[in-house]
Chains A and B, each alone.
Chain A
Amino acid sequence: MPIDEEVLNRVCTEEPTELEREWMDKIGVDEFSVYLTKLELICEEAKQNMIMTGLSPAIQGMDCGVGVYTAAGDLVAASVGTYLHICSGQVPIKYILKYYKDDPSVGIHEGDVFFVNDVLYGGFHNMDMLNIVPVFWEGDLIAWVVAAAHEPETGATEPAGFVPYARSRYEEGFKAPPIRVGSNFMIETDFFDFFSNMLRDTITPHDLKAKASCCFKMAERLQEIAEQKGVGFFVGLMRRSLEVVTDAGKQRIASLNDGTYRHVIFFDLQGKEEALGCVHITLIKKGDQLTVDLSGSSPPTMSFLNSKPHVVRGLLAGVMMQYLFADFPVSTGLLAPFSFKVPPGTIVNAPNDRAMSGSMRITAPVVNGIMVCLAKLLFDSDLRERVTSPPSMSGVGLAAGGGIDQYGGIVIGIIGTIIINGCGGPATPFRDGMDAGQFWFSGFADCLDVEHGEVQTPVLHLFRNIMMDQGGPGKFRGGATVCQGYTFHNAKGPLRLIFNTSTSRVPHTPGLFGGYAGGINPFLEIRNTDWQPLFENASEEIPSSYHELAASKRITYKATQFVSEDFFMNGDGVANGSGSSGGYGDALERDPALAMDDVGKQITSPWAARNVYHVAFDEETLEVDYPQTSKLRDQERERRKKQGKPYHDFMKEWLERKPKEEIIRSYGPWPEGIK
């Protein structure tokens, strides 16, 4: 089973077939509009089906998607919670076509279901599992459909799939290249049993069936179009859509200024160890083309933080579909203007045997960097309203794991509520980022209710609220994040919990044009606390926020970003926060009233209002003293000016600075990285 770099990195859409060529121009103005909308509705129906029947909590939180692809594997329509999922569909389809179509031992037949979750074959990390179904009409392959979702379990050395300390892919559980798992419109029982046997939970295998059901319903709808309008019309419609969207994407890029834009992202965690690494991002815009060059990145890590170029490409495509290309149909064609240069042997193009279950953890900051470059590109254009600081796709603290729940059964996955779906949104030139409003890769995810989390997992929430001082300060601040704190409660046995993030000191959700980066929050691991007397007396010492917990003298906890070594029992607990976006513009330009409004909402602390926003205010009433604020801000500007120095002097000093060797032991060549 070859790993095929050519298929993995094939960005462009496939060449049209004769039939597609013949029909694409025959489709009328009205039919084109009507049937593109119909494809969207078919996808919308399928996504609703998946949400109603999927078992994974991530599906409930909409970390899922469905898509329609041409017979050659190019994406033409989708409905998602998370674009990433459907962007990952085309590689395995093209792989199946290349290797199995004509293989008599496999082949492609009506009623087949293929499955893939291996990053080396087009997946993103192996918790993201895709069902792929070919669509036939009168014996001919006319399309493919994909239903994909993040699933809670992979059978890795740790429950819930994330293995931060994994030193190779062989510790990361079940990874399937594109394989057939169903035929005759059924999931094959022997595969189902095999799959179930590999995993700790029952949810993941059952979702295999739910997703297949969803795919078959989509296939039926597509066949109805082929029946009503003919196969030529159907394939011509999809081809025309691809061509139109490709042109639209290129035109949009062509309308922007040519130039070269750069950013660098640092990270400082590698599994169980702290070590500095970086990814250099260069975005070159010329004509209707955008080249993403990641030369200058650190070498691969001996942890789960490694990635592949197609992961960068897929994640970027997903983000583009919500920002730069939000007004275009979801389509492979949108990637046509992009080309990628990613040197092998870097963290973003790691050797195949490296662990990659945390691929998102490193890819997200890379895409953040690309977003900064794009913001610079878009600023002087008609699309300035789409300039944003990067969405909070990193710095997210995820506590996932498994063990025995409150009913005596097995629980696997995210413990507590899905706060990763409550990250802060990006700041824009016109407004603050939305607080607690999005998943890293998806705008309309759902962090679900506390009561939902407490039914699914054996916890008692002490709090779930917005975390103070997390949105990156700026003229318009980044959206603040949700955090939660809970103790294990009524669990009938021990639980293992994996803390999972990619940075602990160096933020990598950058601010924009003077805005500060989004915050980083450590996990607070609660141990050895006797809650009984506190609970019985409804003690004031029960923390009702992350900051209260962090300040508590009564609760025993340690702040950490690392995997906990011990099992968790009832009474132990965790507090963690999700990601926040960076701010836009200078914090000194922020309307003091907005800053104080945030203080009132406990989104900004009085300390930050005074020391970051330099607002003078009455501590009791929070009323702004405008003359004094103006004075304070002028003083701060003067202080800044005094720090200024000529560029040449700055560079000389800056280039002489170098971290200690132990900190940059995994960095690669300092400071330029691997070219």
Chain B
Amino acid sequence: MESTIDIDVGGTFTDCLVVFGERIARAKSPTTGYNLSVGFRRAVEDAAQQLDMSLSDLLQKTTVVRYSTTLAMNTLIQRTGPKLGLITTAGQEHMLLIGRSRAWADGLHPRERRYMYLAQKPEPLIPYDMTVGVRERIDCFGNAVIPLQKEEVRQKIQALVNKGARGFVVSLLWSFINPTHEQLVREVIQEEYPDRYLGNMPILLSSEVQPKWHEYPRTNVVILSGYLHTEMTEQLSALGEELRDYGYKKPLSIINNIGGVAKLSRTRAVDTFGAGPIAGLLGASWISRLYGFPNVLVTDMGGTSFDYGVLIDGSCRFYQDWPVIDRWATETSMVEVSTIGAGGGSIAWLNKLMGNKLEIGPKSAGSNPGPACYDLGGIEPTVTDADVVLGYINPDYFLGGKMQLSREKAIQSMETIARPLGLTPVEAASHIRTIVDANMGNTILKEVVLRGFAPDQFVVFAYGGAGATHCVDYNSHLKAPKIVTFPFASVFCALGGATLDLKQCYESSKHVCLYSPMRLPQYLAEYDEFNRAVDGLKELALRDIKSEGFRPEDVTLALELDMRYGDHLMLTRVASPRLHLQGDDDVNAICDAFISIHLARYGELAAIPVTGINVESFYLFASVPLPKPELPVFPLEGENPQQAIKGRRPVYWKQFSDFKETDIFDAELLCHGNIVPGPAIIEATDTTVVLPPGMKYSVDRYLSGIIESA
């Protein structure tokens, strides 16, 4: 029997999911920031024990280890990357300091951007003194206007090496159209530091790493790749070696932020950033297909943040409009998972100058001292405290009883809010919940309608420790007819990894006018340019797929295009209905797809077909399906959930404006077919489901809970 192992390294815990035949083991271990492989090994060991195996036995039987890591984030936070040199076009040496001027705001919340007197840009990963400009120019049509002089490059390279450069990032203007100058720079470096000798250094060309328009984000991607490369290679290779020592024979697979996995040797460091939550979204995508839910709002409420993503027709087709990695704008194809600072630890406070306006977050109590109810020294009221005060969270059964909470401390913390407002602590707690849930619901609402969809056409998936506790209330702003909660909520991202296909993205910028009303024929008639762009990417894709050990016929190719009306500058991503163009119908089909998406997102008045329709960038996704886990299916029992009732306690329900004795259910004892009527509380070891009056909770064949109106 074979097994698969999926690991999701989070900020606090390393989650592990092992699928061994029909058995599934879930394990969590504290993340070991000093060496991520330690937490990794402990989590796998724990899972192996659950399966009555040794670590070595398990790994010998394992066909794939898929790994999503925060190593990239850690490296950026700690600034432990290597000293790199940047070679750019002369006259552009300040590119990183300028950072398109708004670099200081990249990665900040809109509210934080108002405080101009606090504004500061992050220090570039490559300092100015490690940047050199070489005289050369390519123009916007790709013409070499000023030739590159190899001798000048040689001198500049030497200067960088003398200052301690251990690698080179080359990013010249318009290199994505004409890469010859960048290639010449590499030639010079290789002449000076040949591969065959010690001391050769990595060279990354922007025309190869990110061949796309806009030099600032393009350069950032190359820098991030170079900066993260060494650290990640060393740690991940060491991890691979360790796994091999335990008997695992296959290469380590890395989860990427385009929503797939690839071998370590085919993964750019920059593509691993934020991959964990994206894997969660992809896991939700796989589950949505099991359930037959095409459109899903995927929500993950944890201790400090609330992540959310959107699935349309079962797939996550949206990419971040302005993707930022750490503090660096990138314009990469990162699957969109957004975050707001709303979690169990978010602190409630009164804005005195605003007439004692009650506000929640963004400050969080974190895990230490944590919410007041943790009784670890925290005194400020948090969302978790509100949940305890209102009777939703059982102080004696938090984390399955592993951690005792203090309701008294939670009530005390509410006084700071309650007294000035003339409220009782319970009323204050109820207001805190209302506000935090509304903030989450309304934020999702904005994102969904921005993309041209109505939220009531969606199903909500709720996971994360606090997801099930708040989902009904934040959904009241979305009005999705169904909410699904999961028994494996706490390792959802690791499960997501188990559902991923091998997937890579190949992209390039190329301007192709598909439609122009000012010329005849109006639709593009020369298809070569378009097809050449696709074929160029396809060649790269097939090369990589072969190197992963798959046959070309195993590969599914999907083309996406960045498109715009002629005079527009901002681009709209379109899933192309055609891979190649062979006739007017194909061109029409792509234009129609674009028009339809643009219309849904921005409305009729924003459409300007009179200025033409252009393609600006091509994205070819190559994927090979991988085996998926099978969730255990449980036999159908009766509707009556009586066997799972573990007691009753007073719980506050807004609908009654008071506490009401409420049935408490043990999630572990609920069976397929059981229907729990609201009001009720369902307690699991890793979460608590809050089911208000008027709602019902139906347990399905996977023991997931479907919440809907009774």
The yes or no verdict on A and B being binding partners is yes
Q: Closest CB of chain A to B519's CB: distance in Å?
A: 12
Q: Give Cα A489 to B137, complex, Å.
A: 12
A444/B105 in contact, CB under 8 A: yes
Q: Closest CB of chain B to A427's CB: distance in Å?
A: 10
Q: Give Cα A33 to B438, complex, Å.
A: 9
Q: Does any Cβ of A come within 8 Å of B446's Cβ?
A: yes
What 1/0 mask marks residues of chain B from 279 to 293 whose CB sits below 8 Å from any chain A CB?
A: 000000000000000
Q: Give Cα A202 to B92, complex, Å.
A: 32
Partner of A466, one of B94, B439, B449, B604: B94
Q: Which of B102-155 contact A (CB under 8 A)?
A: 102-105, 110, 113-121, 128-129, 133, 135-137, 139-141, 145-149, 152
Q: Closest CB of chain B to A15's CB: distance in Å?
A: 19
CB within 8 Å for A465 and B93 given contacts A53-B606, A213-B606: yes
What 1/0 mask marks residues of chain A from 296 to 313 whose CB sits below 8 Å from any chain B CB?
A: 000000000000000000
Q: Within 8 Å CB of A323, what residues of B?
A: 116-117
B101/A421 in contact, CB under 8 A: yes
Q: Give Cα A539 to B216, complex, Å.
A: 26
Q: Which of A229-251 contact B (CB under 8 A)?
A: 244-245, 247-248, 251
Partner of A438, one of B93, B116, B213, B435: B116
Q: Closest CB of chain B to A368's CB: distance in Å?
A: 14
CB within 8 Å for A600 and B128 given contacts A209-B605, A209-B608, A538-B147: yes
Measured CB to CB, the nearest residue on chain B to A37 is B439
B128/A445 in contact, CB under 8 A: no
A435/B97 in contact, CB under 8 A: yes
CB within 8 Å for A406 and B140 given contacts A437-B121, A444-B113, A601-B97: yes
Q: Within 8 Å CB of A203, what residues of B?
A: 567
What 1/0 mask marks residues of chain A from 444 to 455 whose CB sits below 8 Å from any chain B CB?
A: 111111111011
Q: Closest CB of chain A to B150's CB: distance in Å?
A: 10
Q: Closest CB of chain A to B572's CB: distance in Å?
A: 7
Q: Closest CB of chain A to B455's CB: distance in Å?
A: 11
CB within 8 Å for A451 and B214 given contacts A216-B605, A247-B355, A465-B91: yes
Q: Does any Cβ of B come within 8 Å of A502's Cβ?
A: no
Q: Give Cα A455 to B177, complex, Å.
A: 13
Measured CB to CB, the nearest residue on chain A to B350 is A29
Q: Does any Cβ of B come within 8 Å of A651's Cβ?
A: no
Q: Does any Cβ of B come within 8 Å of A367's Cβ?
A: no
Q: Within 8 Å CB of B360, what residues of A?
A: 33
What 1/0 mask marks residues of chain B from 199 to 217 whose CB sits below 8 Å from any chain A CB?
A: 0000000000000011111
What 1/0 mask marks residues of chain A from 58 to 71 whose CB sits below 8 Å from any chain B CB?
A: 00101000000000
Partner of A29, one of B103, B421, B603: B421
Q: Give Cα A203 to B608, complex, Å.
A: 10
Q: Within 8 Å CB of B113, what residues of A?
A: 443-444
Q: Within 8 Å CB of A662, what residues of B?
A: none
Q: Does any Cβ of A come within 8 Å of B161's Cβ?
A: no
A540/B215 in contact, CB under 8 A: no
Q: Within 8 Å CB of B359, what residues of A?
A: 33
A422/B605 in contact, CB under 8 A: no
Q: Does any Cβ of B come within 8 Å of A326's Cβ?
A: yes
Q: Within 8 Å CB of A443, what residues of B?
A: 105, 113-114, 116, 119
Measured CB to CB, the nearest residue on chain A to B360 is A33
Interface size on A, residues (CB 8 A): 105
Q: Give Cα A421 to B101, complex, Å.
A: 7
* Stretch of A456-464, A551-559, A631-639, A667-675 that contacts chain B: A456-464
Q: Does any Cβ of A come within 8 Å of B321's Cβ?
A: yes
Q: Within 8 Å CB of A49, what residues of B?
A: 450, 601-602, 606
Q: Within 8 Å CB of A542, what residues of B?
A: 90, 135, 146
A538/B136 in contact, CB under 8 A: yes
Q: Which of B47-102 contact A (CB under 8 A)?
A: 90-95, 97-102
Q: Give Cα A466 to B434, complex, Å.
A: 48
A30/B358 in contact, CB under 8 A: yes
Q: Give Cα A544 to B445, complex, Å.
A: 48
Q: Which of A617-653 contact B (CB under 8 A)?
A: none
Q: Within 8 Å CB of A53, what residues of B?
A: 568, 570, 602, 606
Measured CB to CB, the nearest residue on chain B to A436 is B98
CB within 8 Å for A202 and B567 given contacts A466-B94, A489-B145: yes
Q: Does any Cβ of A come within 8 Å of B198's Cβ?
A: no
Q: Give Cα A462 to B110, complex, Å.
A: 35
A29/B139 in contact, CB under 8 A: no
CB within 8 Å for A454 and B140 given contacts A34-B439, A326-B115: yes
Partner of B570, one of A45, A52, A326, A327: A52
Interface size range of chain B in the complex: 35 or more
Q: Which of A26-47 contact B (CB under 8 A)?
A: 28-34, 36-38, 40-42, 44-45
Q: Does any Cβ of A come within 8 Å of B443's Cβ?
A: yes
Q: Does any Cβ of A come within 8 Å of B569's Cβ?
A: yes
Q: Within 8 Å CB of B431, what residues of A?
A: 28-30
Q: Closest CB of chain A to B576's CB: distance in Å?
A: 20
| Residue of B98, B149, B357 most packed against chain A (CB within 10 A) | B98
B355/A465 in contact, CB under 8 A: no
Q: Which of A395-418 contact B (CB under 8 A)?
A: 406
What 1/0 mask marks residues of chain A from 533 to 577 whose CB sits below 8 Å from any chain B CB?
A: 001101110111100000000000000000000000000000000
Q: Closest CB of chain A to B351's CB: distance in Å?
A: 8
Q: Does any Cβ of A come within 8 Å of B403's Cβ?
A: no
B117/A386 in contact, CB under 8 A: yes
Q: Does any Cβ of B come within 8 Å of A263's Cβ?
A: no
Q: Within 8 Å CB of A186, what residues of B?
A: 605
Q: Does any Cβ of A come within 8 Å of B520's Cβ?
A: no
Q: Does any Cβ of B come within 8 Å of A431's Cβ?
A: yes
A45/B449 in contact, CB under 8 A: yes
Q: Closest CB of chain B to A147's CB: distance in Å?
A: 11
Q: Does any Cβ of A come within 8 Å of B483's Cβ?
A: no
| Residue of B118, B430, B449, B569 most packed against chain A (CB within 10 A) | B569
B146/A428 in contact, CB under 8 A: no
A37/B567 in contact, CB under 8 A: no
Q: Within 8 Å CB of A286, what residues of B?
A: none
A41/B116 in contact, CB under 8 A: no
Q: Within 8 Å CB of B117, what residues of A?
A: 322-323, 326, 385-388, 426, 428
A248/B354 in contact, CB under 8 A: yes
Q: Does any Cβ of B come within 8 Å of A217's Cβ?
A: yes
Q: Does any Cβ of B come within 8 Å of A183's Cβ?
A: no
A422/B101 in contact, CB under 8 A: yes
Q: Closest CB of chain A to B149's CB: distance in Å?
A: 5
Measured CB to CB, the nearest residue on chain A to B114 is A326
Q: Closest CB of chain B to A489's CB: distance in Å?
A: 6
B147/A536 in contact, CB under 8 A: yes
Identify 30 residue pairs between A and B in the complex whose beta-carbon atoms are under 8 Å apart, listed by A's number. Answer: A29-B357, A32-B358, A33-B360, A34-B434, A37-B442, A38-B442, A41-B443, A41-B445, A52-B321, A52-B570, A53-B570, A55-B568, A187-B605, A209-B608, A217-B603, A326-B115, A328-B354, A386-B117, A426-B116, A434-B120, A445-B102, A451-B215, A452-B213, A454-B174, A463-B90, A464-B92, A465-B92, A465-B93, A485-B91, A544-B90
Query: Which residues of A pack against B, CB within 8 Å?
Result: 28-34, 36-38, 40-42, 44-45, 48-49, 51-53, 55, 57, 60, 62, 79, 186-187, 202-203, 206, 209-210, 212-214, 216-217, 221, 244-245, 247-248, 251-252, 321-323, 326-329, 385-388, 391, 406, 421-422, 425-426, 428, 431, 434-439, 443-452, 454-456, 460-466, 482, 485, 489-490, 535-536, 538-540, 542-545, 600-602
Besides the known contacts A33-B438, A422-B101, 17 further A-B residue pairs in the complex with CB atoms under 8 A apart? A33-B359, A34-B434, A52-B602, A53-B568, A210-B606, A248-B353, A328-B354, A425-B119, A426-B117, A436-B99, A437-B119, A444-B102, A447-B101, A449-B216, A456-B569, A466-B98, A489-B145
Query: Which residues of B pack against A, CB within 8 Å?
Result: 90-95, 97-105, 110, 113-121, 128-129, 133, 135-137, 139-141, 145-149, 152, 173-174, 213-217, 321, 353-355, 357-360, 421, 423, 430-431, 434-435, 438-439, 442-443, 445-446, 449-450, 567-570, 572, 601-606, 608, 611
Pairs of residues from A and B, 5 with the lowest C-beta to C-beta distance, nearest first? A463-B91, A213-B605, A34-B438, A53-B606, A465-B94
